[in-house]
Amino acid sequence: MKSGLVTALRYGDAMRIFISGGCKNGKSYYAQQLAKAQATDSLYYVATMQSADSEDDERIERHRQERDGWGFATVEQPCDIENILHECDSGGSFLLDSLTALLSNEMFPADGDMNEHAAEKITRGLNRVLDEVENIVIVSDYIYSDAMIYDALTEQYRRSLANLDREAAKRCDVVLEVAYTSLIVHKGKEVFGGVDEKIL
Amino acid sequence: MILIFGGAYQGKLDYALARFGLTEKDVFRCDDENADMPENKKIIYEIDKWILALVKTEIEPTDAVKQFIAQNKDAVVICNDISSGVVPIEPLCRQWRETVGRILARLSGESDEVVRLFCGIPTRLK
């Protein structure tokens, strides 16, 4: 599988890749493969999760162990995503995992009122990042196809994340959906050749 | 009939308006409190809400759907895909989810074209 993705990436130049899909279906693993494969120099993992409890601590630790040996330098950036530009070489390769966590952090700050304009704020920050960074894989979560009737707040979070996703997808060269370890290429087939099929 | 579906907020209506050069006045917005037959406009938006209204009133939808198809041969029908979450605990939501699934399969068969939206990007499935 690894060789398939690496070969696919060699077809094109630097790429901004957006990847989404349902939970626990292999998104993060693909995203790590892709970020690693397009790295020529520094490789950054932009960590966005803010730990709220011991369950989060365990999840963060599990992700950290999974990344062990991949060569990522971890940058903690749960808010103000544009600040990664101060800390990192913008010529490096980035893995941003995930928009979902960024939005939670910005929309529901631990010590303040809800920010209704969090999605717009992140979009602005992300656009600044995308102006400078050419090698990046951005992960989000597809939470839009269930049969629940949500409260207004949850609905606003879903709408905000979808808007953020759509803005990111517009700016990215490649848009991928992971469907239980299969990849669907929604955008950028011409640059992301060769893996438009089941590769696991 | 053209069927456009996709998850919530994926850009289904924006896509339909742009593609067919239509405006808000061409759109009938369904309401989950109104089980009456949707008004015959160029775009019937969020048919899943009309289906929820039918489920709430316990009207068996087969006849209503037949009539809907007959009346909307030239319409663009937009539906939220609600098929991919955990099975809801609430019986109403469970019934809604299954009814939308069955009706969408029916409408998909009747449609000349079926499009799915993902992050604002259309994919033609039929």
pLDDT given at position A2: 42
Measured distance CA(A19)–CA(A183) in Å, rounded? 9
For residue B74, give its domain range. 2-124
Over residues B32-43, mean pLDDT: 94
Q: Does A162 touch chain B (CB under 8 A)?
A: yes
Determine how many CB atoms are found less than 10 A away from the CB of residue B118.
24
Cα dihedral value A196, B2, B6, B12, nearest 10 = 110
pLDDT given at position B34: 95
Q: Tokens in use for A157?
A: 């979070």
Whether A143 is in a domain gets the answer: yes
Over residues B89-103, mean pLDDT: 92
Strands in chain B per DSSP E: 2-6, 27-29, 43-45, 76-80, 113-118, 121-124
pLDDT over threshold 90, residue B10: yes
pLDDT given at position B86: 77
pLDDT, tens digit, 9 for 90 and up, residues B12-26 = 999 999 999 999 999
CB spacing of A144 vs B97 below 8 angstroms: no
Q: For chain A, which ranges sit under pLDDT 70?
A: 1-13, 193-200
Whether A127 is in a domain gets the answer: yes
CATH number of the domain enclosing A37? 3.40.50.300
Q: Tokens in use for B45?
A: 């938006």
CATH number of the domain enclosing B114? 3.40.50.300
Distance from CA of B116 to the nearest CA of A (A): 11
Measured distance CA(A182)–CA(A7) in Å, rounded? 17
Chain B residues within 8 A (CB-CB) of chain A?
A: 6-11, 80-86, 88, 93-94, 96-97, 100, 118-121, 123
Residue A54, SS3? helix
Whether A197 is in a domain gets the answer: no
Question: Of B47, B50, B46, B41, whose CA–CA distance to B20 is shortest?
Answer: B41
Considering only residues B84 and A169, tell me which one the structure prediction assigns the higher pLDDT. Answer: A169
Query: Mean pLDDT across chain B, nearest whole number?
Result: 94
Total domains in chain B come to: 1
For residue A174, give its domain range. 2-187
Total domains in chain A come to: 1
Question: Of B13, B34, B32, whose CA–CA distance to B22 is shortest?
Answer: B13
Question: Of A177, A151, A137, A125, whose CA–CA distance to A39 is shortest?
Answer: A137
Contacts of B8 in chain A (CB under 8 A): 144-145, 158-159, 162
Using DSSP bridges, classify how beta strands A174-179 and A182-187 pair: parallel, antiparallel or unpaired: antiparallel
Whether A200 is in a domain gets the answer: no
Considering only residues A52 and B66, tell me which one the structure prediction assigns the higher pLDDT. Answer: B66
pLDDT given at position B20: 97
Over residues B59-74, mean pLDDT: 93
Q: Supply the pTM of this predicted model.
A: 0.85
Confidence tier at B11 by pLDDT (50, 70, 90) = very high
pLDDT given at position A196: 40
pLDDT, tens digit, 9 for 90 and up, residues B99-122 = 999 999 999 999 999 999 999 999
Q: Tokens in use for B107?
A: 């409408």
Q: In what order do the strands lie in the sheet with A93-97?
A: A73-76, A43-47, A93-97, A135-139, A16-21, A174-179, A182-187
Whether A196 is in a domain gets the answer: no
